[in-house]
């Protein structure tokens, strides 16, 4: 295992064997002995599940930490100077940011280990946690696959050679990204739903992700035919539905009421897997920390 002094800026940073090591660590019990490390959480974008999953993990491991919620530091200060200050104060920085470039600059100039817990481009903690459940099933990605969590899950699924069907409007197809990830691997991307007789898993994300400036009403109009609803439940043999919470509420467009990426009856159905997704996210964070550095913990099988 070679996590030592290694940033987690995006999903390209982890190799296949490292992902498998994280997933395997979840199954094992460990006796932990803490050594002194200074930890900071930069929360540029308010969060419920991701930040609280991290705090839950750190509390479980009896680790002290500092939270910076002040956006002034990133928006008003010189980012390189801010990064150097962080490096003097902290060993590990968990960051939730609107800008991937900010994450890269802090990693380059701080000298601290940076772990991306969400940015506009990637959501590695969410994706790695969901990999634990995505076994040898057909996986459908519904919606705009340029979202941060879709980008992360596609990268990681490609490393594990999983079969993926992307059901998305052509306007959101990103062939440059797909060629970079699946240069010699197969992937299906389509505007027409491919019906499989085998059991499948649907992976979904919010239609308006963090950092987007697109008009929400226009995006709904483009994606409304790619919604997960009762019709989809009848067409496909769905085992579970994964979603990067929170799900958007109903929206009115020209006095017409629309439900967004998931209809309410689907969101509240037995197909939903959201509770276990949240619990597994906590396990992934703990596993990453445990594997992260021997000077951080003594790990006993």
* pLDDT, tens digit (0-9, with 9 covering 90-100), for 167-194: 888 888 888 887 777 655 667 888 898 8
For residue 2, what is the DSSP state? -
For residue 23, what is the DSSP state? H
Helical pair 100-110 and 79-89, crossing angle rounded to 10 deg: 50
255: left (phi over 0), alpha (psi -120 to 50) or beta: left
Please check the confidence at residue 261 and state whether its pLDDT lies above 60: yes
pLDDT at 296: 41
Higher pLDDT among residues 297 and 21, named by residue: 21
Task: Report residue 294's pLDDT band, with 50, 70 and 90 as the boundaries.
Answer: very low
Higher pLDDT among residues 161 and 101, named by residue: 101
172: left (phi over 0), alpha (psi -120 to 50) or beta: alpha
Beta bridge partners of 238: 200
Query: From CA 128, how far away is CA 19, in angstroms rounded?
Result: 7
Model pTM score = 0.77
Task: Report residue 34's pLDDT band, with 50, 70 and 90 as the boundaries.
Answer: very low
Domains with residue ranges and CATH for the chain: 11-123+279-300 (3.40.50.1370), 134-272 (3.40.50.1370)
- Complete DSSP assignment for 130-160: HHTT--SSEEEEES-TTSHHHHHHHHHHHHT
Task: Report residue 68's pLDDT band, with 50, 70 and 90 as the boundaries.
Answer: confident
Task: Report residue 105's pLDDT band, with 50, 70 and 90 as the boundaries.
Answer: very high
Which two structure tokens, joined as six digits, stand for 24?
A: 């395997």
**Cβ burial, residue 20 (10 Å; 0-12/13-18/19+):** middle
Task: Report residue 88's pLDDT band, with 50, 70 and 90 as the boundaries.
Answer: very high
Place of tokens 């040898």: 136
Which of 5-9, 53-57, 109-113, 142-146: highest mean pLDDT?
109-113
pLDDT at 201: 86
Section 3-16 average pLDDT: 76
Is residue 289 a contact partner of residue 113, using CB atoms and an 8 Å limit? no
Section 220-232 average pLDDT: 83
pLDDT at 33: 45
Higher pLDDT among residues 211 and 70, named by residue: 70
In this prediction, what percent of the chain has a pLDDT beyond 90?
A: 5
pLDDT at 249: 57
Cα Rg, the chain, nearest whole Å: 20
pLDDT at 51: 83
């Amino acid at each position: 295992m070679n996590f030592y002094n290694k940033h987690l800026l995006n999903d390209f940073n982890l190799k296949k064997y490292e992902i498998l090591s994280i997933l395997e660590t979840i199954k094992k019990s460990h006796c932990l002995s803490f050594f002194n490390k200074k930890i900071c959480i930069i929360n540029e974008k308010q969060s419920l599940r991701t930040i609280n999953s991290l705090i839950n993990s750190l509390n479980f491991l009896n680790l002290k930490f500092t939270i910076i919620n002040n956006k002034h530091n990133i928006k008003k200060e010189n980012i390189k100077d801010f990064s150097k200050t962080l490096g003097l104060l902290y060993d590990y920085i968990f960051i939730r940011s609107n800008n991937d470039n900010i994450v890269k600059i802090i990693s380059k100039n701080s000298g601290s280990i940076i772990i991306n817990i969400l940015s506009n481009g990637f959501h590695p903690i969410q994706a790695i946690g969901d990999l634990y459940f995505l076994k040898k099933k057909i996986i459908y990605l519904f919606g705009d696959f340029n979202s941060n969590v879709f980008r992360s899950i596609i990268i990681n699924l490609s490393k594990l050679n999983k079969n993926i069907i992307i059901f998305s409007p052509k306007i959101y197809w990103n062939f440059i990204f797909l060629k970079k990830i699946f240069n010699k691997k197969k992937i299906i991307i389509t505007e027409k739903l491919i019906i499989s007789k085998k059991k499948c898993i649907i992976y979904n994300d919010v239609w308006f992700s963090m950092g987007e400036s697109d008009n929400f009403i226009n995006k709904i109009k483009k994606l409304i035919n790619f919604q997960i609803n009762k019709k989809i439940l009848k067409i496909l043999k769905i085992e579970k539905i994964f979603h990067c919470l929170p799900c958007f509420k109903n929206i009115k467009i020209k006095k017409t009421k629309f439900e967004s990426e998931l209809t309410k009856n689907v969101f509240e159905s037995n197909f939903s897997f959201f509770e276990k997704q949240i619990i597994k996210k906590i396990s992934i964070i703990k596993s990453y920390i445990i594997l992260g550095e021997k000077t951080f913990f003594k790990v006993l099988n």
